[in-house]
Amino acid sequence: MQQFEIYSPLDMHLHLRDEDMLKLVAPKTSNTFAGALVMPNLVPPVTTKEALLSYKQRIKEACNDDKFEPFMTLFFKNDYTYEFLNDIKDDIIALKLYPAGITTNSENGVSSMDIEVLRPTLEILSELNIPLCVHGETNGFVMDREKEFMPIYESLAIAFPNLKIIMEHITTKDAVELMNKHNNLYATVTLHHLLITLDDVAGGALKPHLFCKPIAKRYEDRSALLNAALNAHPKLMFGSDSAPHPKHKKECCGCAAGVFTSPIALQVLTELFHRYGKLDNLNAFVSLNAQKIYNFKAIDKKITLVKQEFIVPEIYEYKNENVVPMYAGESIAWSIKEIK
């Protein structure tokens, strides 16, 4: 096969940041994707209707005239009222829950995952049919943080059976198994977790631009993720977790966590699914599953890709901001031919 078409691709977990970084990275998604679920962990986090609508407007301005819809999320807090969430529900696609301090800009996250502490807000979400997206990690040993969070996911799924819970950027076979166990558990998976293990990050020379949270895991974990994605598991969606950081914050002591994949995501996914003979499943994985899970109709958009070498830029820059993409300076097998 030398050409392939993707219809209304969606990125269901994306970091766009703000100000000049937003202006740099937003078009790298809006150019090729029809929509994306945008994370609310700005500084300060997005917790009010005014902040949410203002951020959405800044995103749209950064995306120029691209056919693209930002799906907005609200940073989870325990003190939201029914009246507030009922008023804002048509402006958001989900609430995003971060355990406090677990990843970038999550210091204002939830300090306790106790069911009874969370119950008031989660009952409101259940009643209003607002999904809950969760960064599922503990503060334990770095390779075990997601696995240790599985009992929390299970407790939430059992305690709130009418609440749609999305396990964000899953990285382990345990998460795949748990997704299959409960009807109200769904998941996103990133491009980089389908491609790399911890060996790629730190098995030889340290590669800071592959360092992310959750950290890449073992070969058996990658295999479980790949199997689910390549077969378009109906409860699994593509969510890049593309997380831009300036080059000086990646190539330093205290390296920031995040892999920037937005400009090459569709090309590399096409290469990956083509390699395994699963291209017929790519549209479901990158578009149809999300529309069914979140119950919406995506903007019409067609991306035509061709099997033609593309050299990934070494760096992307705008004013004083810059970011290094995954595979910087390397060759990938597929290129984007046309966007309609």
What confidence tens digit (pLDDT) does each residue in 267-304 have?
Answer: 999 999 999 999 999 999 999 999 999 999 999 999 99
Cβ of 81: how many Cβ atoms within 10 Å? 11
Distance of CA 127 to the CA centre of its chain: 25
Confidence of residue 168 (pLDDT cuts 50, 70, 90): very high
Residue 11 among the catalytic residues: no
- pLDDT value of residue 1: 82
Amino acid, single-letter form, for residue 104: T
How far is residue 215's CA from residue 222's CA, in Å, rounded to a whole number?
A: 12
β-pair type (310-311, 331-332): antiparallel
**Total residues belonging to the chain:** 340
- pLDDT value of residue 41: 96
Can you read off the two tokens belonging to residue 65? 């005239």
User: pTM for the full model?
Assistant: 0.97
Residue 238: HSE in the Cβ half-sphere, 13 Å Cα cutoff? 31
Of 144, 241, 280, 300, the active-site residue reads 241
Which position has the token pair 């029914």? 82
